[in-house]
Structure 1
Amino acid sequence: MYTLLSYSPTDGTCDSRLISETTLPATTTTEVSTTPRTCPPDFVTLNGGCYKYHQEKKTWMEAKTTCESESDHLVALTSLQEQNQIAIAIYGIRGAGVTFHGGGNDMDSDGIWEWPDGQPFDFSYWEGAVPTGGCLVVPVYPGKWTTGNCASDMREFMCEIDM
């Protein structure tokens, strides 16, 4: 018997099932076993990660601490697909015109933006030129990224657990 692993890109879950040797092609020799991956309670699966939206307003620094206390980090938006999926999800909860804290910041060096989980800052969706000084502010719809004061701007925020 072998374990067949299947992945659903729609909801980012993995599943496994046992199959007999006769159902495998003759050249298959790899055996993989896993249990389904699911998000913790209060998190939703989007784009292969787990996300939790917090409607209470906090500063970026407080939001970062809250996310870290839940064993995750402020959201790192690394593609337009992820940006859009998250915007649609929040739009369904809060409607248009809402902004929230994202994980991007340039606190270590002005103009050098970083994600809290260490991923490269290869994707950006800035309104105009890349800004210096501050923390990422993400509009749900419409609009592009702007910056806010990390220590004083109060906003809703989103945490992410990488899967």
Structure 2
Amino acid sequence: MRFVRDDLQHPQVLALLEEHLRSSRSHSPPESVHALDVESLRGPGIAFWTAWDGEDLLGCGALKRLDAQHVELKSMRTAYAHQRKGVARAILTHLLAEAQANGFARMSLETGTPDAFAAARALYRDVGFEECDPFEGYVLDPYSVFMTRQLQ
């Protein structure tokens, strides 16, 4: 698996992000969908990575800088053809390492409560994330779970 700091131009990447948004919207009401669109992912303070096997896109994920010590995990997605193969864990491990290498002390995330997000919640718990209060402008929402983990 090869990780690339991505510029969000490749058609496969754009299709995966559209799939991510479509899926998020199908499981949560509009006000509870916090997935970022492509233009937002190109914004300042966001670093985006893709995972590849040759020319085959496996998945993606991003880090959004909240402050000098705190980063948020965003847009983590495994391509449907590669689910249940350890791709998400590998991407998450890569993003945790990137956050630590860049001096962040904490990583937080928001994910969904519907059953479609159960595997994601289990993965996050498995690597040390714990539920927390809403952060960085989020509010309590029955469709959201907030999680955080110390990095250093």
Question: Normalising by the residue count of structure 1, what TM-score does the alignment of the two structures yield?
Answer: 0.36
Identify, as 1 or 2, the structure richer in helix: 2
Q: Which of the two has higher C-alpha Rg?
A: 1
| TM-score normalised to structure 2 length | 0.38
